[in-house]
A and B are shown apart, each in its own frame.
Chain A
Amino acid sequence: MDNLIIKNHETVPLASIPVLEYDKFLAQNTVLLAEERRHCVQYYGFLQSGMVQLLCCIADDMHGTILVSSALVGKKQILPSFTAHRPAFHKFEREIHENFGIAYADHPWLKPVRYPFDRARPQNDIANYPFFQIGSEELHEVGVGPIHAGVIEPGHFRFVCNGEQILHLEIQLGFQHRGVERLFLAKQHLLQRTVLAESIAGDTVAGHSVAFANLWESLCGFRAGAGLQFARTLALELERIAVHTGDLSALCTDVAYQLGSAVFGRLRTPLINYFQIWCGNRFAKGLIRAGGSHFPFNESLAEQLLEMLDAFEPDFDAMCEETFTLPTVLARFEKTGVVTHDQAVAIGTVGMAARVSGLNRDIRASHPHDFYPVLQHQPIIKHHGDVYSRAQLRRREIKQSIGYIRHLLKHMPLDSATPEPLGQPAPESLTLSLTEGWRGEICHCAVTGVRGELVHYKVKDPSFHNWLALALAVRNNEISDFPVCNKSFDLSYCGHDL
């Protein structure tokens, strides 16, 4: 094996990454994925003196390492695809195809990802997306979106249906492409970049900003103190509890269970209000900063947090008990939207979507950062892969996170966390940052140039992997169960579209 082995948040010189022949590069990385506990966290290309340097990062969950290798290929070249061997690569290759015009001869689904206007094939637009069709006259298609009935983000879902039964679903995204990755390069100021990271996905502010902060500190050679790490871990876990509770509410709404919807909805409010108390923003914007924090955690905040959790837990337990024993709710949740273990492995799902299909993928356990090594995180694994598992997983993870928070508060480090000036980013380096957000692993990747300036910044939200899981989950389900399946994954549109 010819690759560079790095740890999470490690900055390495670009030159140390082995550059392979494309054939060898392909063979090596597809073989690596034969093992279930290795998965692709990032595969992308950037321009390097007129050529495209393809960079493939495979996370090894057994050893807590990341295996990095690369290849140099020409633009608009025709290459054999990774996807033909491992479908998990399909979206990465579609993105590369879109950005650089590299054609893959044996890619089964080489369709546009985001429809930017400045990429390789500008004539592709949303109206002529090549949807999968079945010619049979007895079937019909249903198109939902990009404008949805609820206040949610834009995306087009195309169903091929036989009456109420969904035969096939294809999800077309890209309506929200804002050019986040280019903005990272265009915005020179650190604060601008931090705010940008916070805005990648509105529901994962802590996740993305922690990923960015850790990456930037590593790039600048800064080692965050215990207080900072403590606050970041706390923010991540609090965000997890808040969003999971909100999702449970939304799941109840989608099966028209009003009581659950109302109670879980109410329970979410004090959680996000706590962020307001802590940092002045209910979604934790402004809380995480590289190199320090403007809102250091203190005793009185800890007291309030405990108070809030003490009030939260009994109500939450009672409502869960009620919801998960109600026959009408169970009838809707159970065996709905199943993703099998094999499917999950094949398409490379991450985070919650992986853990409900019996796939142990959790960055907190495999590539721990901040306070997670102390917590000795044991991921919760479910095996049925249905909506019920995803709801139950949320319930258990909320309880687990509350436990972690209580544990952390007992051993609160009290060092100063006021911002310190950071050093210059290391020149000609690569840094990769993995963070387990509430939805799954977030991966930020930065490449610097000769003077330490950013030459490429890559963001990957877990949704990028998991949208396909949703498409597979709803096959042969009732179309009226689609909303609840969709909500059970609760994937991000903007995190995908960037």
Chain B
Amino acid sequence: MPFHTWLPHAHPAAPSHVSGIMSGVLIKIGIYGILRMILLIKTDYVTAGYIILFAAVISGIYGVMLAILQHNLKTLLAYHSIENIGIIGIGIGLGTIGIGAHNPMLAALGFAGGMLHVLNHSLFKSLLFFSAGNVYQATHTLNIEKMGGLIKKMPHTASLFLLAALAICGLPPFNGFVSEFLIYSGLYQGLGNQSPVPLFAIIASLFGLVLIGGLALLCFTKAFGIVFLGTPRRVFVPAPVEASWGKLVPMYATLALIMGIGLFPGVFLQALSAPVAAFTAKIPGAPQVSAIPENASRLVANIGWCAAGFIALAGLVFFIRQKATGRKPASVSGTWGCGYVGDASRMQYSAGSFIRSYRKLAEPLFSIHKKKRPVEGIFPVDGWQETHPYDALEEWLIDRPLRKLKHFMGKFQFLQNGNPQFYVLYGIVFITLVILVPLVVDNMYALLDFLNQL
């Protein structure tokens, strides 16, 4: 932010596996750069930390807020990358503040959370992009509004997408929760002994992180619900089929890693010990032995246990349900449509409708281009409604200056009249100027000197 505008354009254009790598590795280079710089420079870490924190919170919220509005599945995921970079940034910002404030616990939690999220994001985001790729290959479109009911045709892809979506929303028992939890712990740690002004920064980041979580939930319930659930909104020819096992096996492997981090976060946290130590070492008098404080490891282990406990509990409830309902009659019939017997395929929420209330709230912040013909008259004949969410920052910072520049340059178009004689003339004028200007300037100086001597 605001140097993000290329990303949402690049992702839909790239093939899905490339998108996966792009979001997993490519965009993390920036993060790597920031981390290296923090190690290299010696500066006022607190101020640097606040700058990072501020930029990160804004990026995070802005990214996810725009993501919700998207109709293109991969653009949506691309904006989520911006959001996740924001979350990582919050972690790093906190860590940096921790270094500056000589608070090893805060530094460790911040950096550990941030770095773990780098790993987590590359996992679940790749998985999401791979699933989106499967969907694209099956339907040849990325427009969410055209899809629907794909879970019946592609159950594996759908389940993988769902689990990755839960992980990206930072919900337990998946890996996203572990890193977000570390950052939350860092934030509450940061609430500790501070003067009021930084407290506001912390509370603002807390607010930001919570909002990001809530918005991500809205976004992925929309994405998953509209793409995979309900009844198909369009008949695809040929009918969508599940991706081959060659594609699915790597995806399941990624999922295994996601679950692994979610259930055994301690192991991964220990692995982060060395890099985090590099940062905490900057604090004078910090314990050098183990970078990750004892209670942080215990915390994370708790999360692992709770995650496992939750899975067991959910399994138990489902088991009881199966036992209890096993013998009872379960009939299958249509979704309740108030007894209407006609065609009901359009009577289903669309992505645009799902998020409209949100869009109305967020509208002032974005430039959403609407095309509509309102329904008019007692007996209307026509009507249309379309929204094209567009990045307001891109519009203001990149498109407008470019357009202005283009406009300004356009004024010189008359020069290019296609007449070779003129071009020769321009050449001569140019050469003359090149030779004359230094001469004239020299002479001017000579003249000035002369005048001065007088």
In the bound complex, residues from chain A placing their C-beta under 8 Å from that of B378 are 87, 343, 346-347, 468, 472
Q: Counting CB contacts under 8 A, is A406 at the interface?
A: no
- A144 close to chain B: CB less than 8 A: yes
**A162 near B385 (CB under 8 angstroms)?**
yes
Compute how far the CA of A138 lies from the CA of B354 in the bound complex, rounded to whole angstroms.
9
Bound-state Cα–Cα, A127 to B340, Å: 8
- Which residues of chain B from 316 to 357 have any CB-CB distance to chain A below 8 Å in the complex? 337-344, 346-357
Assembly CA distance A73 to B378 (angstroms): 28
Q: A128 on the interface (CB 8 Å rule)? A: yes
Interface residues of A in 144-178 (CB under 8 A from B): 144-148, 156, 160-165, 167-168
Q: Is the CB of A138 within 8 A of B145?
A: yes
A308 interface residue (CB < 8 Å to B): no
Contact assessment for B339 and A135 in the assembled complex, using a CB-CB cutoff below 8 Å: no
Q: Given A87-B378, A162-B356, are A126 and B342 neighbors across the interface (CB < 8 Å)?
A: yes
Closest to B384 in A: A136
Complex contacts, A472 vs chain B, CB 8 Å: 378
**Size class of the A contact interface (CB-based, 8 Å):** 35 or more
A147 to B379, CA, bound (A): 26
B420 within 8 A of A: no
Q: Tell me whether B379 and A108 are in contact (CB under 8 A).
A: yes
One of A129, A140, A145 near B338 (C-beta < 8 A): A145
- Whole-angstrom CA separation of A145 from B341 in the bound complex: 10
A168 to chain B: which residues have CB within 8 Å?
A: 375, 380, 383
Residues of B within 8 A of A139 (CB): 350, 352-353, 385
A127 close to B341 (CB less than 8 A): yes
The reply on B387 being an interface residue by CB < 8 A is yes
Is B381 interfacial (CB 8 A cutoff)? Answer: yes
Interface residue B233 (Cβ < 8 Å from any Cβ of A): yes
By beta carbon, the residue of chain A nearest B385 is A136
Q: Is A439 an interface residue (CB 8 A)?
A: no
Shortest beta-carbon distance, A349 to chain B, in Å? 12
CA distance A468 to B233 in the complex (A): 30
Known: A127-B342, A139-B353, A143-B347. A167 touches B337 (CB 8 A): no
Alpha-carbon separation in the docked complex, A135 to B380 (Å): 14
Contact across chains for B346 and A141 when beta carbons are under 8 A apart: yes
Kindly report which residue of chain A lies nearest to residue B359, judged by CB atoms: A163
- Of chain B, the residue at the smallest CB distance from A164 is B357
In the complex, which residues of chain A have a beta carbon less than 8 angstroms from the beta carbon of B102?
A: none
Residues of B contacting A127 in the complex (Cβ-Cβ under 8 angstroms): 341-343
Q: Does B4 contact A (CB under 8 A)?
A: no
- Shortest C-beta distance, A30 to chain B (Å), equals 16
Q: Considering the chains assembled together, what is the distance between the CA atoms of A19 and B384 in angstroms?
A: 46
B338 touches A138 (CB 8 A): no
- Contact present for A137 and B145 (CB under 8 Å): yes
Q: Name the residue in A133, A135, A162, A167 with the highest tally of chain B Cβ atoms < 10 Å from its Cβ.
A: A162
Query: Considering the chains assembled together, what is the distance between the CA atoms of A124 and B171 in angstroms?
Result: 52
**In the complex, which residue of chain B has the Cβ closest to the Cβ of A161?**
B353
What is the minimal beta-carbon distance from A97 to any residue of chain B, in angstroms? 15
Give the docked Cα–Cα distance between A126 and B145 (Å): 28
Asked if A475 meets B375 with Cβ closer than 8 Å, knowing A108-B381, A138-B352, A156-B340, the reply is yes
Interchain CB contact under 8 A, B379 and A167: no
Nearest-Cβ distance from residue B142 to partner chain A, whole angstroms: 14
A141 touches B347 (CB 8 A): yes
Note all chain B residues with C-beta closer than 8 A to A148.
338
Determine the residue in chain A with the shortest Cβ distance to B234: A137
A486 to chain B, nearest CB (A): 14
Q: Are B379 and A165 in contact, with the CB atoms below 8 A?
A: no
B347 touches which of A142, A146, A165 (Cβ 8 Å) = A142
- Scan residues 115-174 of chain B and give those whose CB is less than 8 A from a CB of chain A: 143, 145-146
Residues of B within 8 A of A147 (CB): 338-339
B386 within 8 A of partner (CB): yes
Q: Which residues in window 253-312 of A have CB below 8 A to B?
A: none
Q: How far is the CA of A185 from the CA of B71 in the complex (A)?
A: 60
Q: Which one of B340, B350, B381 contacts A140 once the chains associate, using CB atoms below 8 Å?
A: B350
The docked-state distance in angstroms from the alpha carbon of A472 to that of B380 is 11
In the complex, which residues of chain A have a beta carbon less than 8 angstroms from the beta carbon of B385?
134, 136, 138-139, 162, 167
Which residues of A326-376 have CB atoms within 8 Å of chain B's CB atoms?
A: 343, 346-347
Say whether B375 contacts A137, CB under 8 Å.
no
Residue of A nearest to B383 (CB): A134
Contact of A162 among B146, B337, B353 (CB under 8 A): B353
Instruction: Say yes or no: B375 contacts A163, CB within 8 Å.
Output: no
Establish whether residues A137 and B340, one from each chain, have CB atoms under 8 Å apart when the complex forms. Answer: no
Contact partners of A160 in chain B: CB under 8 A = 375, 383
Give Cα distance in the complex from A160 to B374, angstroms.
12
Q: Which of B341, B344, B351, B381 meets A138, CB within 8 Å?
A: B351
Which B residues form the contact surface with A (CB < 8 A)? 71, 143, 145-146, 233, 337-344, 346-357, 359-360, 374-375, 378-381, 383-387
Of all A-B residue pairs in the complex, the 9 with the closest CB atoms, nearest first, are A163-B356, A138-B352, A147-B339, A137-B145, A108-B379, A127-B342, A109-B379, A134-B383, A163-B353
What are 28 residue pairs bridging A and B, where the CB atoms are less than 8 Å apart in the complex?
A87-B379, A108-B379, A127-B341, A127-B343, A129-B342, A135-B384, A136-B383, A136-B384, A137-B146, A137-B233, A137-B350, A138-B387, A139-B352, A139-B353, A140-B346, A140-B349, A140-B350, A143-B337, A143-B338, A144-B338, A145-B339, A146-B338, A147-B338, A156-B340, A163-B355, A163-B356, A164-B356, A167-B374
Q: A127-B342, A134-B384 given; name 13 further pairs at CB < 8 Å.
A: A87-B379, A137-B352, A138-B71, A138-B350, A140-B348, A140-B350, A141-B346, A143-B340, A143-B344, A160-B383, A163-B354, A164-B356, A168-B380
